[in-house]
Structure 1
Amino acid sequence: MLTYAAAVLFLIITPGPGVLSAAGVGSAFGFRQALRYLIGLFIGSNIVGAAVISGLAAVILANPAIRTILMVASLAYLVYLAAKIAFAGAKIAFVESKRGPGVGAGVLLQVINPKAYAVNTALFSGFSFAPDNYTFEVVIKLLVMYVIWLPIHLGWAYAGASLHKLNLSHVAQRRINYAMAGAMLTVVVLAVIATFKTV
């Protein structure tokens, strides 16, 4: 079980769409908005977990067309979130962002996020420690995941919100928003490269 906990830690703590967007929302819109977004990420993560545990995800993702649609939707949504963060407070009509992403945005990101399915599949199909009692094993794995997932995501959101609370100059805050958005776009580029390498 310690191996499983270490795998959860390293798979979740590494910058991916969830933690980077949580930091970005915190930086651009503050901790309260980031908390709403995190609730959505948590709900979405549980939806993905349930799909993986039940085997529904394996059936659906066996179809290459559905995998491609999810990947394209995920990448497009990450670009949209990056623009929303980058232009927080801007008066540019097509991305004007007075209100940050909330619960629905977090749920949507996780449900269309291929990394969420890959991570959950790796964690729930491997690291068996109670092969005679699958229900017990799943419950313990979920509890361990929650204990690690919550502080990591709260930490990233708080780190972003701490920058927001500094009351930096408009230019400095804009640069931070651009940096957060740039980090998210880097994830998009890496995902595209990884996709083409596996094709």
Structure 2
Amino acid sequence: MVEELIAFLFAGFALTGSPGPNTLSLAAAGAAFGARSSLSYMAGLLVGMMLVMALTASGVVGLLLAAPAVAPAVTVAAAAYFLYLAFRIATAPPLAEADDTARAPSFAAGVFLSLVNPKAYAAMAALYSGFVLIGGVPFLDAVAKWLALVAVIALVNICWLWGGSLMTRHLRDPRLNRIVNIGFAVLLIVSVVLAVRL
């Protein structure tokens, strides 16, 4: 079991820590709005991922996506939200010039982004179906995976948020700060396109 757990954790770090809509949006929020202002958004992303794990493990996602009209509707809603988020990040004022009207994405926005993130479902499906941590007891196996992944995702989120905020801290020039924000917005859109094509 220890070897399987280690392999599961490595796979979890690789799948959840690699650049994707959640991680890039979190780094972008850190760069555009600062780490402290983005903590609520980070918590929302984590709660949303907890829900994604529960939906994936229970099989609800498979049932929903089997309905012909659901997948296209979810894709359109997700694309619209990702474009909105990328616009907010790209147009955020540099931190040195930020005023009270520039607000980081909210907790609810983080939950929603996780729930419409195609990479999240693909990663959780791979992790839940590819490993057995507790053999013979599917419920306990799912709970063990859920607990391990919550810890992994929390650590990954902290690193991405911190990394994004460090970039801004070292780029005090408003022009460079704007370039970083626009770069993150473009990367977010590219990550969504790649996640949808998988």
8 Å CA contact 1:29–1:164 kept in 2: the answer is no
**1:155-194 Cα deviation digits (max 9, x unpaired):** 01001111233361211110110111111121133245x2
Matched with 2:98 is none
What is the alpha-carbon distance in structure 1 between the residues aligned to residue 184 and residue 143 of structure 2? 35
What is the alpha-carbon distance in structure 1 between the residues aligned to residue 150 and residue 116 of structure 2? 20
Q: 1:23 aligns with which of 21, 27, 52?
A: 27
Aligned ranges 1:176-191 → 2 under 5 Å: 176-191=180-195
What is the alpha-carbon distance in structure 1 between the residues aligned to residue 192 and residue 127 of structure 2? 23
8 Å CA contact 1:28–1:177 kept in 2: the answer is yes
What is the alpha-carbon distance in structure 2 between the residues aligned to residue 33 and residue 55 of structure 1? 35
Q: Structure 1 residues 53 and 98 mapped into 2: Cα distance closer, same or farther (>3 Å)? A: same
Q: 2:84 aligns with which of 74, 77, 80?
A: 80
Matched with 1:48 is 52
Deviates more, 1:50-59 or 1:23-32: 50-59
8 Å CA contact 2:78–2:117 kept in 1: the answer is yes
What is the alpha-carbon distance in structure 2 between the residues aligned to residue 75 and residue 57 of structure 1? 18
- What stretches of structure 1 move > 6 A for 4+ residues in a row? none
Matched with 1:162 is 166
**1:40-98 Cα deviation digits (max 9, x unpaired):** 001111111111122211111112321121122212211111110000028xxxxxx61
Flag structure 1 segments of 5+ consecutive residues without an equivalent: 91-96
Structure 1-normalised TM-score?
A: 0.87
8 Å CA contact 2:89–2:182 kept in 1: the answer is yes
Matched, 1:141 2:141: no
Matched with 2:130 is 126
8 Å CA contact 1:25–1:85 kept in 2: the answer is yes
Give me the identity figure in percent.
35
Matched, 1:70 2:88: no
8 Å CA contact 2:30–2:164 kept in 1: the answer is yes
Q: Alignment RMSD, CA only?
A: 1.7
Flag structure 2 segments of 5+ consecutive residues without an equivalent: 95-100
Matched, 1:34 2:50: no
Shift, 1:111, TM fit: 1.0
Matched, 1:89 2:74: no
How many residues matched?
188
What is the alpha-carbon distance in structure 2 between the residues aligned to residue 68 and residue 57 of structure 1? 14
Shift, 1:33, TM fit: 2.1
What is the alpha-carbon distance in structure 2 between the residues aligned to residue 139 and residue 189 of structure 1? 31
**1:101-141 Cα deviation digits (max 9, x unpaired):** 01011001011112212211221122123231112212221
